Amino acid sequence: MVVKAALAKTKPIAGPIAFMRGLTFPGGQQPVIRGAGVYLRYPRAADYPVWAKLRGDSREFLRPWEPVWADDELTRGAFRRRIKRYQKETRLDSAYVFFVLRESDDALLGGMTLSNVRRGVTQCCTLGYWIGAKFARQGYMTAALKALVPFIFKTLGLHRIEAACLTDNDASRQLLTRTGFRQEGLARRYLLINGQWADHLLFALLKEEAQLG
């Protein structure tokens, strides 16, 4: 993982007070996380057209793995509200949302979310992710997650990353195990996915188990 050159000299700050105004660097710069052929950055309002097209084109592909979409899911207004929520959550150090883009042409590939950030004695977050149908099974999410893990542990100063996937989501399970996550159990009827309360496999990765480079 490489944080963009202008940001790389910034020392990680692990304490909760340091994140009360959200994660930014000197001069108001935001993190850009670079991996093998991909990079991750915060979503922007200007991303709406490509985001809406990718999500719309991928609707049937994503349907089995996500909550039921709202009627206005792909509207500009809903996206604007989404961006405002992301910004608020980042300021509060409760969640961090990244879009994943291809380095060669800046194509939007998908997204990764660090939600439910807990500080204090826990120092943990929950990982979520999605990818557009035409980019699936090409190694992009593996590259993105491998880049994001050191950022979570070194820059955010967390100790544990948790993730969950549907029991029949082989691609997600393989992504997590490839990047060092260990399966810890089964949560019955854990999340409301595609209109149904579904069982999920629970995974976690600890800082001392991760390859941080």
pLDDT of 97 over the 80 cut: yes
- Say if 96 falls within a structural domain: yes
CB atoms within 10 A of CB 24: 16
Whether the full predicted model's pTM is greater than 0.75, yes or no, is yes
- Say if 88 falls within a structural domain: yes
* Contact indicator for 10, 25 with CB cutoff of 8 Å: yes
- Say if 13 falls within a structural domain: no
User: Model confidence at 212, in pLDDT bands (50, 70, 90)?
Assistant: confident
User: Model confidence at 28, in pLDDT bands (50, 70, 90)?
Assistant: low
The pLDDT, as a whole number, for residue 98 is 98
Q: What is the number of domains present in the chain?
A: 1
- Say if 171 falls within a structural domain: no
Alpha-carbon distance of 146 to 34, in angstroms, equals: 10
CATH code of 157's domain:
3.40.630.30
Alpha carbon 63 to chain centroid, angstroms: 18
- Say if 189 falls within a structural domain: no
Instruction: Tell me the pLDDT of the chain averaged across its residues.
Output: 90
- Say if 129 falls within a structural domain: yes
CB atoms within 10 A of CB 130: 19
- Say if 157 falls within a structural domain: yes
Q: Which domain holds residue 99?
A: 2-7+27-164
* Contact indicator for 144, 111 with CB cutoff of 8 Å: no
- Say if 41 falls within a structural domain: yes
pLDDT of 7 over the 80 cut: no
- Convert the pLDDT of each residue in 36-78 to its tens digit: 999 999 999 999 999 999 999 999 999 999 999 999 999 999 9
The pLDDT, as a whole number, for residue 15 is 44
